[in-house]
Amino acid sequence: MKTRLVLSWFFLLAGAAWGACLSYAGKTSADPLVSAMTGGYLLWALYWGVPVVFRWWVGLDFGREWQPRLLKFLLGWLLVPLFSYLYGVFGGGLYQCLKTWWRSRS
């Protein structure tokens, strides 16, 4: 558990460096500090959001026929990244981080 928390700091720092580099290179019009904070948060949130949504998606049961399985596979390539992003960025990442932190304390 503590390894996940420590690793999340590396994702936060890598995202911050990436955002600052984009700003300094002129790829964004935002201030470097704003770009660093945004990039750090986005990568950190994806780190916490992707595993949760992926476990949810794998656990869904679409029946035993091959058509629903093919549909699940094809939609998975589109929906899992989108839902992971939305879940992580809009509060799910913070929730998962705090839940992991709370469990690691006891």
The predicted-structure confidence for 52-92, as pLDDT tens digits, reads as follows 988 888 777 666 666 677 777 777 788 888 888 899 999 99
pLDDT (tens digit, 9 = 90+) per residue, 22-55? 888 888 888 889 999 999 999 999 999 988 988 8
Amino acid at 51: P
Amino acid at 74: L
Residues in the chain: 106
Please, are residues 49 and 96 in contact by the beta-carbon 8 Å criterion? yes
Q: State the pLDDT at residue 105.
A: 85
How far apart CA 96 and CA 106 sit, in angstroms, is 16
Q: State the pLDDT at residue 55.
A: 85
For the chain, the average pLDDT equals 86
> Considering the entire predicted model, what is its pTM?
0.79
Domain that holds residue 42: 2-105
How far apart CA 45 and CA 12 sit, in angstroms, is 9
**How many domains, the chain?**
1
CA distances (Å), origin 42, targets 4, 33, 57, 105: 17, 14, 21, 26
